[in-house]
Amino acid sequence: MESITIPTTDFARLLDKIENIGRKLEKPTPANPLTEVWLDIQETCSLLKISKRTLQSYRDNGILAFSQIGGKIYFRAQDIEEHLKSHYNKAFNKK
């Protein structure tokens, strides 16, 4: 078996880092700090392929709910999906 010799200070730092890793592993950390996905105006416009003005109209007319923090506006992805599902039209046959 081969042995490695390191200075005491380096060994102490190594032990300290291992202990820090152990403490971090013991802490329960949520996989996603937000339970919901929130999109800003640009992301929402890109997702729906609409203009900012159309999105403003959706907000003004109560079509999409939103949250505003300061000047920044956010939309819940779940609300967008529910709106799309509620306006879903099945294909029909023309005869």
- Cα distances from 68 to residues 41, 73, 76, 81, 93, in angstroms, run 11, 4, 12, 20, 44
Hey, how many other C-beta atoms are within 10 angstroms of the C-beta on 92? 6
- pLDDT digits 0-9 by tens, 44-95: 999 999 999 999 999 999 999 999 999 999 999 999 999 999 999 988 887 6
Q: Could you give the domains of the chain? A: 38-86 (1.10.10)
- pLDDT digits 0-9 by tens, 7-48: 999 989 989 889 888 888 887 666 666 678 999 999 999 999
Rounded to the nearest 5 degrees, what angle is found at the Cα of 36, between the Cα atoms of 33 and 21?
Answer: 15
Hey, how many other C-beta atoms are within 10 angstroms of the C-beta on 33? 6
Phi and psi of 91, rounded to 5°? Answer: -65, 150
